Amino acid sequence: MSILDHSGPAARAQFWVWWAMLIVTVVVSLSVYALWLYTFRRREQPQRTPREERRIMLRWVLGGGIALPVVSIVALLVFAAPTGRSMLPLPLPEGEAERIEVIGHQWWWEIRYPGEEGERDVITANRLVMPAGEPVDFRITSEDVIHAFWIPRLGGKRDMIPGRHSTIRLEADVPGVFGAQCAEYCGAQHTHMLLHVEALERDAYDAWLAERRAPPVPQEGFDQAREAFGEHCAACHTVAGFPEELVVDELEHDIRGPDLSDIGSRPTLGAGVLPMEEGAIAYWLQHHQTLKPGNRMPPHHHIDTETLQDIGAWLEMLEP
Ligand code: CUA
Is position 121 within any domain?
yes
Domain that holds residue 77: 9-87
pLDDT tens figures, 45-95: 667 888 888 888 898 899 888 998 899 889 888 988 888 777 776 655 666
**pLDDT lower than 50: segments of the chain:** none
Q: Is 289 helix (H, G, I), strand (E, B) or coil?
A: helix
Does a structural domain hold residue 112? yes
- Specify whether 208 is located in the same domain as 107: yes
Q: What is the total count of domains within the chain?
A: 3
Task: Give pLDDT, residue 6.
Answer: 92
- Does residue 285 share a domain with residue 228? yes
- The answer, yes or no, to whether any atom of ligand 1 lies below 6 A from the CB of 157, is no
Nearest-atom index, ligand 1, CA of 187: 2
| Domain co-membership, 64 together with 147 | no
Q: Do residue 203 and residue 115 come from a single domain?
A: yes
Please check whether residues 256 and 201 belong to one and the same domain: no
CA-wise closest residue to 155 among 10, 271, 300:
10
Kindly report the average pLDDT of the chain as a whole number: 87
Strand partners, 305: none
Ligand 1 atom 1 nearest Cα: 147
Q: If phi over 0 gives left and psi between -120 and 50 gives alpha, with beta otherwise, what is residue 155?
A: left
Query: Which strands, in side-by-side order, build the sheet including 166-170?
Result: 122-125, 108-113, 98-105, 136-142, 166-170
Whole-number Å distance between alpha carbons of 194 and 220: 33
Residue 16 in contact with ligand 1 by CB distance below 6 A: no
For residue 173, the domain's CATH number is 2.60.40.420
Closest CA to 108 of 177, 183, 192: 192
CA 180 to chain centre: 5
Is 183 found in the same domain as 208? yes
ipTM comes to 0.98
Regarding whether 102 and 77 lie in a shared domain, the answer is: no
Q: 273 with 259: CB under 8 angstroms?
A: no
Predicted model pTM: 0.84
Do 154 and 127 share a domain, yes or no? yes
Using the mean position of ligand 1's atoms as its centre, give its distance from the Cα of residue 287 in Å.
22
Q: What is the rounded distance in angstroms from the CA atom of residue 103 to the CA atom of residue 126?
A: 10
> Is 110 close to ligand 1, i.e. is its CB under 6 Å away?
no
